[in-house]
């Protein structure tokens, strides 16, 4: 692994690309047998009526003109719509698209680093680590995280276009940089830090900071450029990024995605951020106990842990600054890591999680650069350095592939991913109840009602005010014929969230099933008051009224249900029965209830 001898090998870049493609396919191909998850996949694909219709003019207009899920990412939704157009709702095709984007990202990363530095071995190592690291599995194996792999695709295209602009400055080469930046931001707002990364590229490896650092690549160094000019070049990028950042923040706040900010003080969020930075570092070099959900510790972080983590971050920062002239790649990689993680380090708290593997998809590149350029320099001082590098690569990469393959296997379905999360994560935090709730939802969908009930009860034990856990437990108890217990859970869900229509609806259903017809009628009327256009509520109210001998009133509700939903076969059947003053037994099947609900990642 000697970069000085490998540079002359013209076939080396092609060989590295082939290796990256084959190795990535080996560890990730199993996603072809994976399913949609009940964790955000519903929101983005399977439960999104616009996406499920495929590519339509009305749908495309909607995604570009309306916000969705407290966000605005039309390019991402467009990619999901295209997948539906190509594969329908077969998850295999959706997974394949995400995998192809990950492979393309790995190749683009290799290409742009090689283009800037002329160092194929180091560039290849960074791209290989990016392609095969277990922390990146979440972004690739989770269909809802299409926004991550897609936005990163445009991130690397922006960098590529920027290098072209640096080599030949002019408006013709400047505009593609703007275009790719905008497209990336329309996939995910993570690109708001990219203008600062471009400025760092001017320092290393492009060497444009007024001769402070020579170009480390094989391009001629561009010297004596005033720093102010480099800033002026980035002003349009900064304006665009800031505009997107402000817009996304406003949408998230209005959509309730930032409500957890009120749950944690600023000092608590900063403390969590400091510890999370170091935790990410630890998982980079020892990627174990990876979870789809890391519960927020709240105020329970010990002072010693916060202090040690802060000291370590400052120590590394001082170290890379001290070596900034002799080893500029260390400062570049470190500040890449710190900076690109900053928007998602949870100081601006989004969701109830402390951190997430998907947040490191771009950020880890900085650490990989530090390793890829720093390790050969360190071992070059040792007589057996080249052999040591070869052994490290020969042993380390297969181990990394095995670990990643195993991590991908946990993403097979909703049961496997949440069972794994519960297995590897500390469970004393109340907000980890979300994992038990979603596992319960997956189990009940698989027909494992008793197992689901146990998970819902654990969720409630951890977080007694988790509304969806009470609702879902009620649903599972109803399926087991335990209507009285189900009624108690629905009432608790309504107590916690009075306008929870689904809980009101299912409570009415449980009351009727338990033989409490009058109470059921009263409850269905409450549902209709909350949501007058719910056809199922009118049908079920009509059925309860018919059972109570109030045929005339029942007829009016059956007719209302049919007016709201003309193809409502059960309502038409019940109307016919009511008009014929038939016996109520034939209408017993006309009962409907709403399904259990997972919790989203926000």
State the DSSP string of 112-128.
HHHHHH--HHHHHHHHH
Which of 203, 9, 7, 26 lies closest to 123 in space, CA to CA? 7
> Could you give the C-alpha distances from 76 to 108, 152, 358, in angstroms and in order?
19, 12, 16
* DSSP 8-state code for residue 410: T
Q: What is the pLDDT of residue 355?
A: 95
The continuous run of DSSP H or E covering 164 comes out as: helix 146-167
Closest by alpha carbon to 354, among 300, 294, 406? 294
Instruction: Assign 3-class secondary structure to 263-328.
Output: HCCHHHHHHHHHHHHHHHHHHHHCCCCCCCCEECCCCCCCHHHHHHHHHHHHHHHHHHHHCCCCCH
With 60 as the cut, is the pLDDT of residue 50 above it? yes
Summarize the confidence of residues 496-514 as an average pLDDT. Answer: 94
Q: Spell out a b/e string for 422-455, using b for 16 or more CB atoms within 10 Å of the CB, else e.
A: beebebebbbbbbbbbbbbbbbbbeebbebbbbb
Per the prediction, the chain carries an average pLDDT of: 90
Does 148 have pLDDT greater than 90? yes
Q: What is the pLDDT of residues 247-306, one digit of tens each?
A: 999 998 888 878 878 789 999 999 999 999 999 999 999 999 999 999 999 888 999 999
Q: Who wins on pLDDT, 351 or 426?
A: 351
Tell me the pLDDT tens digit for each residue of 402-425: 999 999 999 999 999 999 999 998
d(CA 509, CA 89): 31
Residues in Cβ contact with 32 at an 8 Å cutoff, skipping those fewer than 6 apart: 92, 95, 96
Q: Which residue has the higher pLDDT, 386 or 26?
A: 26
pLDDT of residue 217: 44
Segment 564-577, tens digit of pLDDT? 999 999 999 989 88
User: In terms of Cα–Cα distance, which of 496, 503, 499, 547 is closest to 521?
Assistant: 547
Q: Which two tokens stand for residue 285?
A: 């070099």
Whole-angstrom distance, CA of residue 339 vs CA of residue 353: 20
Q: What is the pLDDT of residues 235-248, one digit of tens each?
A: 999 999 999 999 99
* E strand spans, 56-210: none
Any bridge partners for residue 294, and if so which? 355
Most confident of 361-370, 545-554, 580-589: 361-370
Name beta bridge partners: 68: 71
pLDDT at 152 over 50: yes
Cα three-residue angle 94-96-100, rounded to 5 degrees: 125
Q: For residues 412 and 91, give the distance between their C-alpha atoms in angstroms, rounded to a whole number.
A: 11
CA torsion sign for 339, 345, 347, 351 is positive
Paired with 295 in beta bridges are 353
Measured CA to CA, the distance from residue 86 to residue 83 in angstroms comes to 5
Residue with tokens 């005339």: 552
- As a whole number of angstroms, the distance between CA 477 and CA 453 comes to 7
Per-residue confidence band for 360, with pLDDT thresholds at 50, 70 and 90 = very high
Distance from C-alpha of 294 to C-alpha of 465, rounded to nearest angstrom:
19
Least confident range of 101-105, 427-431, 480-484? 427-431
pLDDT tens across 331-348, in order? Answer: 999 999 999 999 999 999
DSSP state of 353: E
pLDDT tens digits, 517-545: 999 999 999 999 999 999 999 999 999 99
The answer to whether the CB of 112 falls within 8 A of the CB of 160 is yes
3-state secondary structure of 352: coil
Q: Please write the tens of the pLDDT for every residue from 367-393.
A: 999 999 999 888 877 777 678 788 888
**Structure confidence at residue 597 as a pLDDT band (50, 70, 90):** low
Residue 219 pLDDT greater than 90, yes or no: no
Query: What does DSSP say about strands 353-355 and 294-295: parallel, antiparallel, or unpaired?
Result: antiparallel
CA distances from 488 to 194, 478, 511, 516 (A): 52, 11, 10, 14
pLDDT on residue 3: 46
What secondary structure does DSSP assign to 203-222, as a single string?
HTTS--STTSS---SSSPP-
| pLDDT at residue number 581 | 61
Rounded CA separation 358/72 (Å): 19
Residue-level pLDDT at 578 = 86
At residue 164 the predicted structure's pLDDT band, cuts being 50, 70 and 90, is very high
594 pLDDT higher than 90: no
* pLDDT for position 588: 47
pLDDT of residue 392: 85
E strand or H helix that includes residue 519: helix 517-530
pLDDT at residue 585 in the model = 42
Alpha carbon distance 500, 491 (integer Å) = 10
In the chain the first and final C-alpha atoms are separated, in Å, by 44
Cα 170–Cα 204–Cα 224 angle in degrees, nearest 5? 55
């Amino acid at each position: 692994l000697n970069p000085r001898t490998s540079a002359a090998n013209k076939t080396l870049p092609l060989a590295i690309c082939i290796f990256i493609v084959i190795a990535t396919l080996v560890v990730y191909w199993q996603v072809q047998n994976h399913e949609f998850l009940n964790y955000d996949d519903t929101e983005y694909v399977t439960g999104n009526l616009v996406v499920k219709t495929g590519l339509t003019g009305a749908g495309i207009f909607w995604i570009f003109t309306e916000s969705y899920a407290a966000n605005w990412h039309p390019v991402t939704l467009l990619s999901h719509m295209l997948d539906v157009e190509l594969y329908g709702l077969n998850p295999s095709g959706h997974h394949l698209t995400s995998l192809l984007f990950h492979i393309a990202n790995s190749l683009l990363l290799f290409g742009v680093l090689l283009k800037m530095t002329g160092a194929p071995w180091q560039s290849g190592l960074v791209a290989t680590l990016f392609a095969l690291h277990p922390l990146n599995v979440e972004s690739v194996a989770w269909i809802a995280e299409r926004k991550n792999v897609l936005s990163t695709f445009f991130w690397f295209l922006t960098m590529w276009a920027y290098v072209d602009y640096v080599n030949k400055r002019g408006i013709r080469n400047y505009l593609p940089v703007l275009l790719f930046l905008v497209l990336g931001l329309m996939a995910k707002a993570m690109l708001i830090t990219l203008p600062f990364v471009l400025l760092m590229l001017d320092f290393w490896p492009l060497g444009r900071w007024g001769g402070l650092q020579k170009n480390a690549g094989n391009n001629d160094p561009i010297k004596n450029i005033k720093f102010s000019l480099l800033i002026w070049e980035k002003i349009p990028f900064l304006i665009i990024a800031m505009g997107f950042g402000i817009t996304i923040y406003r949408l998230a706040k209005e959509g309730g995605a930032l409500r957890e900010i009120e749950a944690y003080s600023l000092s608590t969020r900063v403390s969590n951020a400091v510890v999370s930075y170091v935790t990410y570092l630890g998982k980079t070099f020892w990627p174990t106990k990876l979870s789809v959900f890391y519960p927020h510790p709240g105020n329970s972080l010990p002072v010693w842990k916060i202090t040690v983590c802060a000291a370590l971050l400052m120590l590394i920062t001082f170290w890379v600054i001290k070596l900034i002239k002799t080893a500029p790649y260390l400062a570049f990689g470190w500040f890449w890591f710190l900076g690109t993680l900053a928007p998602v380090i949870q100081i601006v708290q989004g969701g109830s999680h402390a951190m997430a593997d998907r947040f490191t998809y771009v950020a880890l590149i900085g650490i990989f650069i530090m390793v890829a350029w720093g390790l050969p320099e360190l071992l070059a001082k040792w007589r057996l350095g080249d052999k040591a590098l070869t052994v490290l690569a020969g042993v380390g990469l297969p181990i990394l592939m095995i670990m990643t393959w195993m991590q991908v296997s946990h993403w097979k379905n909703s049961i496997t991913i949440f069972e794994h999360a519960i297995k590897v994560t500390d469970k004393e935090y109340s907000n980890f109840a979300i994992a038990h709730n979603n596992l319960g939802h997956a189990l009940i969908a698989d027909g494992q009602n008793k197992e689901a009930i146990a998970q819902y009860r654990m969720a409630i034990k951890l977080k007694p005010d988790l509304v969806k856990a009470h609702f879902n437990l009620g649903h599972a108890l109803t399926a087991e014929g335990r209507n009285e217990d189900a009624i108690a859970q629905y009432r608790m869900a309504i107590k916690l969230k009075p306008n929870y229509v689904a809980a009101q609806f299912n409570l009415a259903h449980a009351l009727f099933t338990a033989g409490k017809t009058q109470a059921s009628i009263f409850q269905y009327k409450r549902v209709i008051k909350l949501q007058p256009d719910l056809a199922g509520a009118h049908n079920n109210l009509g059925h309860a009224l018919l059972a109570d001998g109030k045929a005339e009133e029942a007829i009016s509700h059956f007719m209302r249900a049919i007016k709201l939903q003309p193809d409502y076969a059960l309502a038409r059947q019940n109307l016919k029965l009511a008009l014929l003053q038939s016996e109520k037994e034939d209408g017993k099947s006309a009962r409907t209830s709403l399904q259990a609900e997972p919790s989203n990642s926000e």
